[in-house]
Structures are given as C-alpha cells and as structure tokens.
Chain A
C-alpha cells in the first residue's frame, strides 16, 4: 500500500537543505530598494502617565526620516489591537476589553510598552535619535504579581479591580455534594511559572506601500498571515483586504508567540505609507524578552475528592490567570476554553467545577505558548493525582490506572464540554512503565542512596485537545473566527504538483510532510511536489498553524483536494479509455479499467487536462482543486511520560537521568519528524520545570530576566537521551486518523518532572526547581 516516501516514511526534511546551508529566507534577509529602518522607543517604567513627548531634538537628528507617536496613529484613524475571543463572566456580562493602542497615548502600562516609532536611514541613526526624545513620565505604582493584582492600582478604567473576567465552567453544586461525601480530599496550591517564548528568530516586519496601486505589502514573522491580514484590515483599518498582502516567509520558530498581531508590524505597515518608503523593523533579543507574548503565569488552588477505594468523586479548581497589561489576540481563550476543558484529564471524573479570574498587571501580555492552557491543565491534574496517591499510600500509576477512562468507552463525554473520540490510556501507561523499567526503580533508588543521592520517579498521564477546531464549537464558545483550513492541489501540465496550504510552517517540516501526503494520495513522486505557504496572494485564505492543527486540519484539507483530483482524473481516464468512470480504479497514480490491463498514469491524465484535444465535453480543462476542511471534533493526543531524576542534596542540582515518552498520536506521516517534535516539546517542558521563569521586580515592576544571563534556557547537558515510543488509536474525526504532536511534550513534561523531583525530595516545591530551591528543600528537615 505504501508509496516510496509516502505516509509512514521517515523522509529527511526537504527544507533542511536551505536551512542548514544558510540559504533560508528569513525576514531580516529581505531588503527593498529605498528601505529605511524603524526603531521603537519603549517605556522604561512599568506604569506611568505620559505628561508630554518632545520630539524636537530627535526629529533634527541626522538621518531621521520621521518620528511617530500614538497621536499620529489616532489622527489617521488607525485602530488599536484586538482580542479575538469573547469570554463571559459568571453573570453573563462580557469580559473587560480595554483599548490597546499600538503606540501609547496617555500612559504606559508595562516596561517595553511602545512610546514612539523612529524611522531613519539606518538602524543606528534611529536608535541615536530615540535617545533624544524627551518623554515626561509621571511614575505610578505598578503591580506584576497576579495574586496582588486585585489590590493594585487600577491599570485600565474599563477593568475595575484589574479584573478582565471572572469565569466558570462545570457544575458547582454537584462538586460540592461530591466533596461532602468524600473519604479523602487532596488539596494543593500550584504556581505555573511565566515563560518567555524565545523563538530562535526574533519578531520582525517589513512594510511597503505602492503608490502606483495603493497596495500594501507586509512581510511579517507570523504563524497565520491571513489572520493577520484580516485583523489589520477589518479591525485596525490599515487597508481593505484586497489592498493588503501579508507574507510570512521562512519563520524561525514561533511556539505560539507569532500567532498574534502586535503593535510593531501594525505600526510599521502604517508608517510605510506615511514616509513613502519601505520600513524594516527587527527586534533584538532584549525586545523579544520585553514584548513577545509570554506564556502560562497561573496561580491555582485545586481540590480533588476520592472515595475510600481511590475513585475520583469530584474536582474543583480555582485559578488566577495573569493577562499582562493588555489583552493579546487570543489571550482570553487560553486560561478558559483551552484550559478548564482539559481538567478532566484521562479520568472518569463525575463532576468538575472550575473558576478562573483573569487579571491585568503591569507586565508583558500573556497569550498562547506551546500547549496554551493544556500544559497548565495537565500540570494541575497530574500534580494532584501524584499528590493524592502519596496521601493515600498508593502507587501513583495504580491510582491513575484505577481511574482511567476504559478503552471501550468512546466517544466519552466529560463534564467540561469535550467529547473524547478515541484512546487507550492503560496501554500508553504500561508502555511508559516498561520503557523506564518502573518495576526496577526501588533498586535504582537504593543504589543512588548508597552514593548519597536522592532518586525520584514521577509520571504525567496527559491529554490535550488540539487539531483546533470545529468552527461551530469554537464559535459557540466566543471565538471570533472559524478554525477550518484550506488547500489547493494544482497539477502542472508536465505532471508535477504544487500544493498551496493555509497552514504555515515555521519549523514543523510541512514542505516534507505535506509532500509525503500528496505523494501517497496521488501517486506522484515525492520529489515532484512543491508546497507553498505563507503568502496571502498565493494561497487561499487559511487559518494558519497553532494548536497542533497543521496535519489534522490542514492535512485533511489537502486530502479533500486530492480526493477531488482523483475523481476528476477518473473522469478524464474514463473518456480517454472509453469506459465508465465507475469502472476506473485508482492505485498509486495509475488509473485502470477494472478487470483489464488498460491503464493510464496521472501524468498522462494531467497533460490531457491541460492540452484537452480529446477531452470530456462536460468537464473543465485543467487539473487543480481547492478544498476547505472544517474538523468534526478536536483531536485528543494522549499518553504517559515518566521522568526519573537524581538529586545531589549537597548542590541542589537535579539530573534528569531517564525519560520515557509513550504517546498516542494516532496515525503518523513521518515518524522522524514526530519524534523530533516530541524531543523539542519535552525539552521545553523540562526548561519550564527546571530552569525558566520570567521575573519582575515586585516593587518597581522592572523585568529582571531580560537576557540569557538571567533567563535560563535548557541545553543539551540538562537533558537525557529521551526514550520515545508510540501507540496508535487512529483518530476517527479526520480522514487521516491523525491527532497532532507538536505540543504534547511541553504539555506532559513539567508535571512528570516536578512529580519526580518532589518524589525524590519528599516535599512540594514550585517550578522552576532551581538548584537553590531544591537545595533548600533538601536541607530542611
């Protein structure tokens, strides 16, 4: 059945040829004739009124083309940035939606907030001129800690008490009743630490206005160029959609942070018309720390009720979520419908009640970051399960087994909206235990103890909802967009194929995977297939890549288009071979009349479609098909990760000595790419648990982790050799049976690692488990 380099083959990535030879086309590689350079003056204060901005000296500086402030944008009727997902409070009222101007007007609300945009002949000239801008700030007392936000100074008049919303999900009364009958209750307070996304390529934008046609072209580091175009056109009022082209070229990583529409590209494209020249803006790493949307930052209290046998009776969760100073593009959805809907985990939970208060603080806005809500949910559920097992003197994996949804119980409806469509949780749990030799742990622990070391083991049985998402479902939950995907499969007359996808590749390897898919479906050689993405004038309107959706949604759209190609090719073949289309069989690019040896190849049929000298009268020439695919359901990748650590109590250093990842991603197109995604996700999760954390000065609101000197990223020596294996219960909700793998590692890893560390220490600590924190815990009796 399988085609060479088709589905299931670990094909080496096509795009690596240009990436590893330095021939990628990243945004900063692009230059235009007459280009000038933009630089943002940013607030050095966390919260301050702007009394005045004096540009006199700066405008007179050498090389300055122009300088813009918020007043200029307002005068041009350029709107602010929007949040595209409406969340309702408990009483049904909408969430607070304060304005988010691209350039500050009367106040700055976090360190790094944009104050002015300097355009000059060189970046250095722009930076020098920015130094001459005199801003009279009146400093105000800031608040950065989400737990103190309610009592902090009011940041937005539209958000009393700094509250964005107070939201709930689930059946409070049922949960209260369950707790009243509980034999055992486990309670925990958990902090999910704030992370900076740190894509390898910083954000950048190049804006160009064509005075001849009135068209704008924006090159931007985006994961979803059409969404950016839609927002910039419909909400920000840059230009009508037909006069705005958005191109996201090679993008060096996003992890969610490049989904959103930011002030910088908005200002850059607007200003390009004002100055009549192309303008390029490229963030430096400091700006990335200050302004790339951060991730996580939850403070949660959770309680879980069990009967005397260890069966879950009910679960209640109360979370404070830090939104930062402004609402980023999808920020409101992350701690609500992407979080609380996964609090059921892999378990039979009779009832759940979650309440989430989202708060404004004087910090960088927080939005989706690899996993977006599901890592936070998994962290709460799985730290609780491990804690409860310890409280009840049970093996944590046994407590999980006891509560798992049975493999034959699908479709399984949870108390928090989701309907799980497939899975086999005991299977992945058992696989992970075998991989790490769970049974042999006590012997290893004793051996570590003989060397004065503390060994620990911890699991996380994660589930996530991705392949987002059915448009009707997300629409009913407040989303301002549909989440389908588009594709076009276009044969060229000579038989090669160009695939246009609305998905966007920024490290995932779509040019390889999608080509494998099409090779498999159409029988065209893999080398003859080109994948095009990231340009709104080339590809049909698409929703882009995030939420592990490219293959499940974007790949399914490609399959639909390929199916249409096959149908049309059968009609052409039927005409040319003088048969009925119903009698034409397709097998790997060969179209034959059933039961005969008469056949034609897809290459011959494509040529006939473009040189239609002998062609069916009722058929259009050409061989190209469009498709849009709206998923039937989310997909639910799930599995168990088990971490094993050894801690040196003398130094507090945690060594991750072993890692077993057993994942169920459904069907897999390219196992090598999938394993790479797991490696990357787990590394990021280990980073969160062990090393990373954004820190603001509690009093001044200054960002203290603004460089790699203070923000510690995982490196090879922090990581073990991962053991990665997969099980497969195909997803019934899409034609490929795939589930998505891009976020799983980052979702599973923090809980697994913290469970292992706290197992070793015999004490609870919060992430990140820095040597100091671990040392103090190890030293305290």
Chain B
C-alpha cells in the first residue's frame, strides 16, 4: 500500500523535529506503544502490544533512519513482526517545512504486510493505516503543541536514563544544534527518528489487522 499525506503541527519546525526524535513523545503518540529502545545511532526497536478481549498480540518493530537532514526530514524504514499474525514492513520519506500556524509534516509511505495479515486483512489495510496514522497525529500534535511530553502516569518503562554515554556519531552533528533554548538533551542527539509515523504504520497495520482477525474469531 502507499499513503501520502501531510499534517499541520502547531509548533515550530525545530520543535517538531525534536519531538520526532523524542522516544518519550513517540511512545505516547503511537497507539499501544509499550517500549522503545535504541540499538544504535540510527536504529531502534519498539514493542507495541494490543489486547483484544482475551487475546494479546505483541509486535516487535525495528526501525532505521537514513537520509537524515535535521531539522528538515529523513527516510525511515522499518519492520514489525507479530508472530503468527505475520509482519508489516515499510518505509517513509518524512519532510518538515515551515507553514502558517506551525510546521507542515509531509509523509510518503510505502508499506506491505505479509502472512496472516495479508491473507485476512488486505482489504482493510489502507483504511486501517489511515485511521492509525490519524490517531498518531492527533496525539503527536497535542503532545508537541502543549510542550514536552508529560510524564504520563501510565508510563511504566523508564528508558531515558541512557543519556550519559554519548559518543557523538558523525552524522549526529546536525542534530538540532541550533536549538537555543534546548533543555538538556537527555537523549543523545541521535536522530531518534526511530518510530516515526512510518514505522508506526506497518506496526499499526499489523495491529489493526490482528484486531480484526481476532474479532472474527477465525483461527
């Protein structure tokens, strides 16, 4: 499937970029996201859990970033595995441009699903992806425009403490150096674009298809 879209985020470009690289914000924005871990400067893993009635499915996603051009955009590619449910994989080109009222986030997503999700959910993938992307942006917009991520009480996993070791990777040079009022970046600059909407999308698709599948009582 392919999905192209743009969202107006009520915040300046640098702030949006920062948020896009802030695991905590992303974790809160992505529906069902449970944890996010950085494997390297440009790769992350995430766990998204979905519960439907008595059934749970956990999706593990791995995302990597390339073509990083802070604060203007990057390319992300990712894959989410849902065990018996199959997998989703895809990529997105994401760009940020200043616009009236904030920042225009444009995305071009290409994603595909495999296994059970393709067999039972192919008809639902497009609409599901759009729905989940919509939820993500609603959450993201809210988090960015109201300032930094609030420690949502529900957050049980503390992932942020990793900040002390920060060997600056070469390509991290460009990470938001211009931010004047930057609060101490507790996250190394890593363009943690790690779970941008694009990863979100395959994962979300997976999740949605699973949900659908489970509710069908089929198996």
In the complex, the answer to whether B118 meets A702 with C-beta atoms within 8 Å is yes
Known: A284-B219, A285-B218. A707 touches B112 (CB 8 A): no
Report yes or no: B122 in contact with A704, Cβ–Cβ below 8 A. yes
With contacts A44-B86, A286-B218 taken as known, whether A709 is within 8 angstroms of B118 at the C-beta atoms is no
Cβ of A707 and Cβ of B84 under 8 Å apart? no
> Which residue of B84, B114, B218 has the most chain A CB atoms within 10 A of its CB atom?
B114
Which residues does chain B contribute within 8 Å of A130, judged by CB atoms?
Answer: 84
Residue of A nearest to B84 (CB): A131
Residue of A nearest to B57 (CB): A131
Assembled-state Cα–Cα distance A111/B118 (Å): 10
Asked if B87 lies at the interface with its beta carbon under 8 angstroms from chain A, I say yes
Contact with A along B79-99 (1 / 0, CB 8 A): 000011011000000000000
CA distance A164 to B115 in the complex (A): 27
A508-549 interface code vs B (CB 8 A; 1 in, 0 out): 000000000000000000000000000000000000000000
| Also in contact, A286 and B116, with CB within 8 A (given A127-B84, A131-B83) | yes
Is the beta-carbon distance between B219 and A707 smaller than 8 angstroms? no
CB–CB B218/A700 < 8 A: no
A44-B87, A131-B84, A697-B112 are known contacts. Are A290 and B118 too (CB-CB below 8 A)? Answer: no
* Given A127-B84, A130-B84, A131-B84: A700 and B114 interface contact (C-beta under 8 Å): yes
Query: Considering the chains assembled together, what is the distance between the CA atoms of A705 and B113 in angstroms?
Result: 14
Contact pick for B114, options A45, A127, A707, CB 8 Å = A45
Q: Which of B98-139 contact A (CB under 8 A)?
A: 112-116, 118-120, 122-123
> Which of B84, B115, B116, B219 has the largest number of chain A CB atoms within 10 A?
B115
Q: Is A706 a contact partner of B119 (Cβ separation < 8 A)?
A: yes
A54 at the interface (CB under 8 A from B): no
Residue of A127, A285, A706 touching B118 (CB-CB under 8 A): A706
- Highest count of chain A CB atoms <10 Å: which of B84, B119, B216: B119
Checking A45, A131, A707 against B119 with a beta-carbon cut-off of 8 angstroms, the contacting residue is A707
User: Chain B residue with minimal CB distance to A697?
Assistant: B118
Asked if A702 and B123 sit within 8 Å, CB to CB, the answer is no
- CA–CA, A380 and B113, complex, Å: 36
Q: Which residues of B contact A697 (CB under 8 A)?
A: 112, 118, 122
Question: Measured between alpha carbons, how far is A176 from B130 in the docked complex, in Å?
Answer: 57
B62 to chain A, nearest CB (A): 13
B121, chain A: closest CB distance, angstroms: 9
With contacts A709-B120, A709-B123 taken as known, whether A111 is within 8 angstroms of B115 at the C-beta atoms is yes
A705 contact set on B, CB distance < 8 A: 119
Q: Interface residues of A, CB < 8 Å — how many? A: 22
A53 to chain B, nearest CB (A): 15
Tell me the complex Cα distance, A707–B123, Å: 11
B115 surroundings in chain A (CB, below 8 A): 44, 111, 702
A615 to B115 CA separation, bound complex (whole angstroms): 70
**With the chains together, A127 CA to B219 CA distance in Å?**
10
* Residues 102-160 of A contacting B (Cβ, < 8 Å): 111, 127, 130-131
The reply on A703 being an interface residue by CB < 8 A is: yes
* A699 at interface by CB-CB < 8 Å: yes
Question: How far, in whole Å, are A404 and B87 apart by their CA atoms in the complex?
Answer: 56
Give complex CA distance A705, B114 in Å.
12
- Residue in chain A with minimal CB distance to B115: A44
Question: B119 and A703: CB pair below 8 A?
Answer: yes
Measured between beta carbons, the chain A residues less than 8 angstroms from B122 are 697, 702, 704, 710
Name the distance in Å between B113's Cβ and chain A's nearest Cβ. 7
Q: Shortest Cβ distance from B109 into chain A, in angstroms?
A: 15
Q: Which residues of A contact B116 (CB under 8 A)?
A: 44, 286, 706
B158 CB to nearest chain A CB (Å): 26
Once the chains are docked, how many angstroms separate the CA of A705 from the CA of B122?
Answer: 8
A500 interfacial by beta-carbon distance below 8 Å: no
Chain B residues whose C-beta falls within 8 Å of the C-beta of A699 in the assembled complex: 112
Kindly list chain A residues whose C-beta atoms are within 8 Å of the C-beta of B119.
Answer: 111, 286, 289-290, 702-707
Q: Which residue of B lies closest to A127 (CB)?
A: B84
Chain A residue contacts of B218, Cβ below 8 A? 284-286, 707
Q: With the chains together, A702 CA to B111 CA distance in Å?
A: 13
Which chain B residue has the least Cβ–Cβ distance from A130?
B84
Which residues, 235 to 292 on A, are CB-close (under 8 Å) to B?
Answer: 284-286, 289-290
C-alpha spacing A710/B216, complex, angstroms: 14
> Bound state CA distance, A111 and B112, in angstroms?
14
Residue ID in chain B nearest A133 by CB atoms? B83
Q: Mark A667-710, 1 if CB is under 8 A from B, else 0.
A: 00000000000000000000000000000010110111111011
**Quick one: which of B87, B122, B123, B218 has the most chain A CB within 10 A?**
B122
- Return the CB mask of A462-501 against B: 1 if under 8 Å, else 0: 0000000000000000000000000000000000000000
- Seed contacts A131-B84, A700-B118, A704-B118; 20 additional CB < 8 Å A-B pairs: A44-B114, A44-B115, A111-B115, A111-B118, A111-B119, A127-B84, A284-B219, A286-B119, A286-B120, A289-B119, A290-B119, A697-B122, A700-B112, A700-B114, A702-B112, A702-B113, A702-B119, A706-B116, A709-B123, A710-B123
Q: 8 tightest CB-CB pairs across the interface, nearest first? A: A706-B119, A44-B115, A702-B118, A131-B83, A704-B122, A707-B120, A44-B114, A700-B112
Q: List 25 A-B contacts (CB under 8 A).
A: A44-B87, A44-B114, A44-B115, A45-B114, A111-B114, A111-B118, A127-B84, A284-B219, A285-B218, A286-B116, A286-B219, A290-B119, A697-B122, A700-B112, A700-B118, A702-B122, A703-B119, A704-B122, A706-B119, A706-B120, A707-B218, A709-B120, A709-B123, A710-B120, A710-B122
